Structure 1
Amino acid sequence: MGHLATAADGTRIAYQLQGDGPQLLLLAGQANSHHWWDPVRADFERQTITLDWRGTGDSDRPDVVYSTEGFADDVIAVLDDAGIESIDVYGTSMGGRVAQWLAIRYPERVRSLVLGCTSPGKKHGYERSQDIRQALARADQAGRDRILLDLMYTPTWLANHPGPYYVLGDSTMPTYARGRHLVASNNHDAWDELPAIKSPTLILHGADDLFSPAANADLLASRIPDARAHVIPHARHAYFHEFQSVASQLVLDFLADSSV
């Protein structure tokens, strides 16, 4: 079901509630709407809350500076509108960067935290290679999609799953908004603040992820008190989809342990 929250600057943020039970907030990757979670959302056997980042989906698309800290403020507007005081949070890719700020700036709102295929930021995190950046920048849309699919999934999985794919970005985004998302994600830097995170934290990553290298998992675990990391063998950036039987169960087990 679709709802609209209003951020501090008046931007309307679309969000969706689905299912019943304990609540879990799911945060998607850069330049993607809530559809990022469509293939795995039912795995969690909870009431899941998703949102369309500003610039995507049914949210407003202001041509202003975006940041991961600002996206976190948008999430708080959603939680306030939904009447949610505290919630378990699972963020992947850029959504994991936003989730870091949620746990840092709004600790009372985050019961437990799962960070997937993400990074502490540009100054200290392990970033994708310059070759990958240049290839994505040079490619036309079809070429870019082919490169992204190779970064997201193994060749064997792609050969047996012709789509649709939900991790290639929101095709309805204006060009300026896509650029704003890229800059927001690239400028993320939570390194100095990560030790302040109090929420129980699980970090997940694909071992063969070149889009956000797997070394980031242990790096984050070394900065967040009592965090534990699990790296999934053979998985790439979209580990949560291709390896969902493993990844979703890891999340469910962690959430069950954290609620005890």
Structure 2
Amino acid sequence: MPTIKVNDINVYYEQTGSGPDLVFISGLSVDHTMWDLKYFTNDFRVLTFDNRGVGQTDTPDAPYSMEGFMKDTVSLCQTLGIKKAHFVGHSMGGHIVQYIAATYPELVDKAIIACSEHEFSIISYLATKLQIDLRQYHVPKKILIENYLPVLFSIDYLNLSENRDKFIQTTLNNPYPQTDKGYIAQVEAIRKHNTINLLPKIKSPTLVIGCDQDLLTPHENSIFLQNHIPGAKLITIKNCGHAPFIEKPDEFFNLILSFLKNK
């Protein structure tokens, strides 16, 4: 599978479909496989990739930064000959989209920012701090995953044991699990993230997607983004936690597709 030299690292990427360019950017500790591309490949040429520190992309030494993730993404696009694209980011990926849209407006057609925030929330801080603390005590992977479930998913979703079991097993079976080094470096980058002065500079048509039971990035963060990005539209997914691509994939991906195809 393809890797390409971008800045100081080898980046794993996949490109499929045909049409206008569409770039997906994943969140903290998540690789390119989070995106269900069947919704998009008939209409777009889709680029997915692993951020530095996760998946099959290199995990260099810290520090990482949102500006660094932005430069990785932009350099990847430039190397692949992408001159203008739609950008979709979830959580940390949404942070990166904010930086790209504000800094490289000529590269961005439409922007979609899902379950994201302009700065690190206290709940995100506490949840990731606990994960880092547990890793330092070499807690088994299964316990790390179980510990994170309550902030990832809605209560209704967690009430079904098959949902919990499927997520745990899928995560445990990941052939390219994130290292502790990569996780900590990504978290430290997010902790320094603040786009309050960048949001007014975003000029591309922007859709903000929030979830009403998102604990990691509470819904008020999505409202804040809508209020500070000129002309941004906000859509709220009901009865859903931080991972709509798992809890409500049809609704989530069709919202994205509808916004992209709407002239």
State TM-score, norm by structure 2: 0.87
Overall identity of the aligned pairs, in %: 27
Change (3 A) 1:97 1:146: same
Question: How far apart in 2 are the matches of 1:203 and 1:230?
Answer: 6
1:246 counterpart SS class: helix
Contact 1:34–1:50 (Cα < 8 Å) also in 2:
yes
Change (3 A) 1:77 1:153: same
Counterpart of 2:3 in structure 1 is 4
Aligned positions, number: 251
Superimposed CA distance per residue, residues 7-29 of structure 1 (whole angstroms, 9 cap, x where no aligned partner): 23x21211111223332111101
Question: How far apart in 2 are the matches of 1:64 and 1:35?
Answer: 24
Contact 2:200–2:229 (Cα < 8 Å) also in 1:
yes
Change (3 A) 1:131 1:180: closer
Question: How far apart in 1 are the matches of 2:167 and 2:218?
Answer: 25
Counterpart of 1:151 in structure 2 is 151
Of 124, 131, 153 in structure 2, the residue corresponding to residue 136 of structure 1 is 131
Counterpart of 1:203 in structure 2 is 208
Instruction: In structure 2, give the amino acid aligned to 1:180.
Output: A
Alignment of 1:88-107 (within 5 A): 88-107=86-105
Change (3 A) 1:107 1:134: closer
Change (3 A) 1:132 1:179: closer
Confirm whether residue 190 of structure 1 aligns to residue 200 of structure 2.
Answer: no
Of 38, 52, 55 in structure 2, the residue corresponding to residue 42 of structure 1 is 38
Change (3 A) 1:167 1:71: farther
Contact 1:67–1:185 (Cα < 8 Å) also in 2:
yes
Of 161, 166, 180 in structure 2, the residue corresponding to residue 163 of structure 1 is 166
1:204 counterpart SS class: strand
CA-based RMSD of the aligned residues comes to 2.2
State TM-score, norm by structure 1: 0.88
Question: How far apart in 2 are the matches of 1:99 and 1:64?
Answer: 21
Confirm whether residue 235 of structure 1 aligns to residue 235 of structure 2.
Answer: no
CA positional deviation for 1:137? 4.2
Question: How far apart in 2 are the matches of 1:248 and 1:129?
Answer: 24
